[in-house]
Structure 1
Amino acid sequence: MPRAVGRLLVTPVDGDAPVRSRRLRVLGLGERDDASFDDFDAFADRVAEVTDVPFSMVNFIDGNRQFYAGLHTPAGTRRGADLGATAAGSGRSGRYVALDHGYCPHVVVRRKALVLDDVCDYPRFAGNPVVDDIGIRSYLGAPLIDRTGIALGAVCAVDTVPRPWGRAGLDTIKSLARELVGHLRSREENALGL
């Protein structure tokens, strides 16, 4: 359900959430049970290195929450708590966060990259909890649209200072998203024995 703050819509309406949730379950994504997600952490590290940011994520989104499958934090701890995430059940790492936390749900619903040089320049995004809670000031994200046409989540880079991402930043995050979608396809084909 979208959350309104004043007259601004904080969480976008997501009509594709049920289909996305089913697809994530089929792919075995959206839950972190084992070391099979280490490659997503490595990918998040690469995103942070390429974009020179303190935080980056590979984020899968179902109808109820976001899951940081890949996470890069400044301290290198990969702790979701650094970004306000919590654990979900015993043995689960703290990588779950509410839908109104951050900008990836907007990327998924829009099915387009989102470039925010300074989130405070956009009233719709300035009131997001990540601004006050974590100090996020800039965001660069692109959707992960799989072979079935479903936007499963987003890959993103965020910084605590405004960043002029420009066309180069947009091209970079879109290229990284395409690369990761290729990895997801290979992962699915390997699981099916294709």
Structure 2
Amino acid sequence: MTQATHPTLARTLAPTPGLVRDALLILGGAALVALVAQVELPLKPVPITLQTLAVLLVGAALGWKRGFAALALYLAAGGAGLPVFSGGTGTFLNAEGVIRPSLGFLLSYPFAAALVGWLVQRLALDRKPLGAALAMLVASFVIYAFGLTWLSLVTGLKGQALLTAGLTPFLLGDALKIGLAALLLPGAWAMARKR
């Protein structure tokens, strides 16, 4: 027995199904993340960007399958050398030719987008600000779990030093991004209902 799913914002705004629509939505989601990745506050070892805002919005708007695909496409584009990552870079290596300490955060994006998309589709959490914020907060735990694990592996940081490098500088900004996204989604739904 399958559980009912709620329509995504993208499906509501573009109801005609098809491969072309899905491809454009996936491409658009990847492009949005690439665009906001360029808004960067350089910080070592992991820069502060707007990527997580876009990752959460893409997942919520597209749903879990297309959200995952959009972020997988984003990673593939960067891995292929396109300048889609922060600082206009397009490789999993940093300037010194070493694997990026931020790679764990990047690799988490498809899974975080899929999780927020799944929560939205199953529970319609994107219709109200509190629900949207809750879905995005849960997905943020995935981002931090991947990111901190990788950061510890490549830098050897542990305990408080790891949290100082990979968590503490991001908490306020991520709270603001979740708050903004949690307001944008219900607002977009209100506009969609008027159409």
> Which one scores higher on RCO, CA 8 angstroms, separation ≥ 6?
2
- Check whether TM > 0.5: no
The interval holding the TM-score normalised by the smaller chain is 0.3 to 0.5
Q: Which has the higher helix share?
A: 2
Largest Rg, 1 or 2: 2
Q: Which has the higher strand share?
A: 1
